[in-house]
Structure 1
Amino acid sequence: MNAEHENPSSAPPSPEETTPAPAGAPDGDKPYMRVIKSYVLRAGRTGPGQARAYQQHGPKYLLTYQPEPLDVETAFGRSAPLFMEIGFGMGGATAHIAQVRPDDNFICCEVHEPGVGSLLKLIGENGIENIRIFRHDAVEVLDHMLGEQSLDGVHIFFPDPWHKSRHHKRRLIQGPFVNRLARHIKPGGYLHLATDWEPYAEQMHAVLKAEPLLVNTAAEPGPHGCAPKPDYRPLTKFENRGIKLGHGVWDLIYQRV
């Protein structure tokens, strides 16, 4: 990802890579295809404010990954529509959305420690109660802690575009991953993707169109099937700068059938 993107989490490893199966896995004596991951871990420094936020707010808002179903109502202390955000970067957009949609619950996955600390800091400063965070791979959270048709929607904003052609296989938005997401979304729920890199928007559109469980919500789709930006998604500082420079941003919103 380039420095302008807010979301430092990104794509799966190359699908052709293999590694020995871990002990205790089925057919543990055989090689297996490496599983999809929703991120590439980036280096970064956690500042003192973020470190304090971990100490002050982590016990309440951080969830621990464990390979068993999550009791969502207990985690949030209430029952409400459940949405997942994958790779929230420094958490600014996430905090905004949670505040303008207080009746929804948000499960947020990010492996970048400073980003998690930043969102915890925003939660504390703004008294946000409807966010819970996994500092863990979203794919494992989906597969082991959230059942199919358990989500009302999924947000993935500005994933790493992996500009070079030889790196396109590392992009997060690929057919198998989108199918996995679609199966976890309830009928009538949605998948909302956003990117500021047009070739990636074109790929996203192709992948989404090919997924039979999803249909485009845009009544009059724009370029690459894009929809108007929903009011709940704020403009990031990088997006604002890009718009002033004439760069495009593409929001793709597809509904689970």
Structure 2
Amino acid sequence: MEIYIISAIFIALALYIYSKTRRRKQEPFPKKWHKLLLDNVHFYSSLSKEKQLVFQNRMMQFLSEVYIESVGFTLTDLDKVFVACSAVIPVFGFDEWHYNNLSGVLLYPDHFNNDMEFDSKAESRSIGGIVGNGRLENQMIFSRKALYSGFLNKTDKNNTGIHEFVHLIDKMDGIVDGIPEALIPHQYAMPWLKLIHKEIEAINDDKSDIRQYGGTNQAEFFAVASEYFFERPDLLRVKHPELYKMMKECFNQKPQSAT
């Protein structure tokens, strides 16, 4: 497994250096991706034809600014589509958005552990995605299996791709703390904090249908609640109307449920 760890670090460093020295020209949207999106990404299929064109352009803009590489398998079109969608969906309510704190995305074939091991013999392989720090700063790593599950299971409230990109948005002000200054105006910070703590308390008292992991801390609550908002917005509106209203204002959009 050491060779995969070294390979991942090498790829991450290479992507970072290359992204700092050269920006690629934005490529045209591949026509065959339209069907991939319609078949696999409800957020996209629920958009009007005009908004779908905007979404396509935003995907290609993201892919011109961020490199995607695979470790241990050959990258496919659907891999690229799911990564790009994970990036675009949370910020689709804003006309202009660039992930200035991201240069590359690495895809592992399966869940991995803290040592970046994903082999079936490795212990504690429970990580589906991380926003890199230290030697992996400006990088993001996904389990391909977890990434796919987030889009192909349309009845749950989970989406690993969206979860990690929400963390990245949160990190844009320098700290991942559940209070993304890029999305939440200063005057709403205190009401948002009060709501977070009320919801976290409910989770930890087993009085909420929000995923247990959201009760870990403010940052994880924000990411988990965002998954819920984009995966099952109608259910969130019924179960947690105050949270739904705040998330709608935060992301400046009103997504449609698949169910």
Q: Is TM (by shorter chain) over 0.5?
A: no
State the TM-score, normalizing by the size of structure 1. Answer: 0.28
Higher RCO structure, 1 or 2 (CA under 8 Å, sep 6+): 1
State the TM-score, normalizing by the size of structure 2. Answer: 0.27
Return the structure number with greater strand share: 1
